Amino acid sequence: MIACMTVADELDGSLPEGTETAFLEFGLHSFPAKLKVTLQEEIDRTEGVDAILLGYGLCSMATLGLNSPNCTLVIPRVHDCIGIFLGSDRRYKEEIQQAPGTYYLTKGWIEHGGDPWKVYEKWKEEHGERMADLLYKKTMHNYTRLAFIRTTEEDQEHYICYARSAAENLGLKHEVVHGNREILKKMLAGNWDDDFVVIEPGTQPVLTDFLKG
């Protein structure tokens, strides 16, 4: 399995015994071309398995064109990892319709620095408060809500409180939305239904693969 660190945080020991893993740094999602190259390199060095599970979605086209001559590639049929955390791309589209200006957080995003409050604080440290304010307004002007995706009934209160505090500091509405880990569970169990793009050896995923269903 090859996955982003934020997805790895949702696995919680559910990987079948003997599963080989490669968990990639969170920041790669900001550089789709680099992410594509890194994913292909990881695929190329994987040997002795029948299938490679990718803990990514379409991700700014980064998974298009990936290929393996010997292994089946299995990719969740979602726009990006938000769809993975919410349980389906359909649910993600419903959230977009209800609250389009939403920045989403999960436990993994918070732990790996992928939230706007940490980014703002870094800008302030590097450039001063005035410039940090300008950069924040430029990059976040379309956002009105900061939503924490709760993917489990396990205790995540620490992360929910952090998200609430970040929202207050940034002047955003805070909400907790319920997600789940069904896509990950099905992928690990080999139940590759219409929620997945299954790419046979020697072929490549194309955009229309992600638009079906």
Closest to 36 measured CA to CA, from 67, 6, 70, 78: 67
What integer pLDDT is reported at residue 155 of this predicted model? Answer: 79
* Cβ within 8 Å of residue 167, ≥6 positions away: 145, 146, 173, 174
Closest to 77 measured CA to CA, from 67, 87, 65: 87
25-52: buried (b, 16+ CB within 10 Å) or exposed (e) per residue?
ebebbeebeebbebbbeebeebeeeebb
Angle 72-24-189 (CA atoms, 0-180°, nearest 5)?
40
Contact by Cβ (8 Å): 161, 168: no
Angle 90-140-29 (CA atoms, 0-180°, nearest 5)?
60
Main-chain dihedrals φ then ψ at residue 184, nearest 5 degrees: -65, -40
What integer pLDDT is reported at residue 213 of this predicted model? Answer: 59
Contact by Cβ (8 Å): 123, 129: no
Where do we find the tokens 């002795």?
48
* Mean per-residue pLDDT of the chain: 93
pLDDT tens digits for 70-89?
Answer: 999 999 999 999 999 999 99
pLDDT under 50: residue ranges of the chain: none
In this structure, which amino acid lies at residue 135?
L
* pTM of this structure: 0.91
The span from the CA of 164 to the CA of 175, in Å, is 8
What integer pLDDT is reported at residue 13 of this predicted model? Answer: 74
Main-chain dihedrals φ then ψ at residue 77, nearest 5 degrees: -85, 75
What integer pLDDT is reported at residue 1 of this predicted model? Answer: 96
CA dihedral 207, 87, 140, 127 (to 10 degrees): -100
Rounded to 10°, the helix 116-127/157-170 angle is: 50
Q: In the beta sheet, which residues pair with residue 5?
A: none
